[in-house]
Amino acid sequence: MSASAQVTALTPSDIRARKGGTPLVALTAYTTPMAQMMDDHVDIVLVGDSVGMVLHGLPDTLGVTMEMMCLHGAAVRRGLRKPLLVIDMPFGSYEESPQQAFRNAARLMRETGADAVKLEGGVSMADTIAFLTARSIPVMAHVGLTPQAINTLGGYKVQGRGKDRDRVLADAHAVARAGAFAVVLEKLPVGLSNEITEALSIPTIGIGASATCDGQVLVVDDMLGLFTAFKPKFVKRFATLGADGEEAIRAYAAEVRARRFPAPEHVFADEGPTA
């Protein structure tokens, strides 16, 4: 038996059982090396449709396709052993009917090896979540700011304030009742996030929500400082890899132009070692 076969991977039930326990750690990933980097440190890896903005330069997540998700999902799977792997259902792949959602969720899981899917929406998606979970597809829900709905929400605004509070509460309760094993709460006021976390029997995973959520998620390129086009208030940069990378590229360009790179240790003699 290989060393990798002995690792016990987390399941949706394990994640659900962590309600109220040690906070769950979640990050997005889109590539094998990034997945390998987080394998020992996080509980949940999400192949988010944020991949469209972060890696493909799209203005929002609406242009993300099933093909993009399959490609990045399979790459992430190859770099992970332990965390639960969740994959986003892209805009247009699940909203039409529970049957459409099942077809596309099954394809995402089959082609990537993901353990679960995530989809955006509350009350309006409850039937779909129930349909999927009854057919062996674990679902992570996502309420509050749902980026695939920016055109109807009017942008990336905080949700659930004032009269909107009841709508978000109803969404959170609906996805939990429908059978989601966890729910992402995005860009909600702290008080509402706390109330939802206390009321639901499933873990809440916050992004711009509250420190008392059952877990937190961030886009990995945001927290590493790799994505610098803009920085939402809820992002903390734990590194500055974008700036460090640009500095490294500047140094490389200068050395090539000055003929300082390659140096003698980077080139091959006429005779000797071949590698």
CB-wise, 175 or 207, nearer to ligand KIV? Answer: 207
# binding residues, ligand KIV (CB under 6 A) = 11
Which span sits near ligand KIV by CB under 6 A: 32-40, 47-55, 188-196, 250-258?
47-55
Q: Which residue is nearest to ligand KIV (CB)?
A: 48
| Beta carbon of residue 97, minimum distance to ligand KIV (angstroms, whole number) | 22
CB-wise, 28 or 104, nearer to ligand KIV? Answer: 28
Q: Is 104 in the site for ligand KIV (CB under 6 A)?
A: no
Which is catalytic among the residues 67, 111, 120, 186?
Answer: 186
Exactly one of 29, 30, 49, 203 binds ligand KIV (CB under 6 A); which one? 49
Q: Is 87 in the site for ligand KIV (CB under 6 A)?
A: no
Distance CA 86, CA 156 (A): 23
| Beta carbon of residue 120, minimum distance to ligand KIV (angstroms, whole number) | 8
Q: How far is CA 216 from CA 115, 151, 184, 260, in A?
A: 19, 26, 9, 45
CB-wise, 27 or 192, nearer to ligand KIV? Answer: 27
**Is 195 a residue of the active site?**
no
